[in-house]
Amino acid sequence: MNPEDNVFALLDGQDCPYTITRHPVAYTYEDMVNLGVTEKGEVCKNLFLRDAKGRRHFLVVMCGRKSADLKALAEKIGSTALSFASEERLTKYLNLSRGEVTPFGTLNDTESAVEVVFDADLKKTPCIGIHPNTNTITVWIAYEDVKKIVNDHGNQITEIEI
């Protein structure tokens, strides 16, 4: 079974409208731009972060063209200093590798331990582009549908201006 199969089964089971774009491996937003994938909508940048003691983990989903100020972000979400989580933590919590980070990774978070922080500007776009747990496909889907899937799974959600 491919990592995207569970995502597509869920989307189809919930009658969520979506389209897909298959492409070569894309690890970063810049890779997506270079591949021309950003022309269909707002491609998201996804950051997997941890607090200073490694007790809280955050998946930050933001407009790809933006950059995140981790100090300001920590203040907005009420966290201690933030840093990028290790690949080991990424595998442990979301069962993903670097370059595959996506809000659909929360479906692998059996304890719903990862807090998801969405950029409020995502509400302004008709569809967003995110990986379905593999970085060779981009799913184009409504932001509200992604937010509902994450919420239904039980992960805590925060929406902030980034």
Above 90 in pLDDT, residue 69? yes
At residue 150, φ and ψ (nearest 5 deg) are: -65, -45
The pTM for the full model equals: 0.94
Express each pLDDT in 116-160 by its tens digit: 999 999 999 889 999 999 999 999 999 999 999 999 999 999 999
- Supply the pLDDT for residue 3: 84
Domain borders along the chain are 3-160
Question: What are the CA-CA distances from residue 120 to residues 39, 117, 149, 158 (Å)?
Answer: 21, 9, 17, 9
**Pairwise CA distance, residues 92 & 108, whole Å:** 9
Q: Domain 3-160, what fold? A: YbaK protein (3.90.960)
The token pair at 150 is 């994450």
Model confidence at 38, in pLDDT bands (50, 70, 90)? Answer: confident
Asked whether the beta carbons of 129 and 37 are under 8 A apart, the reply is yes
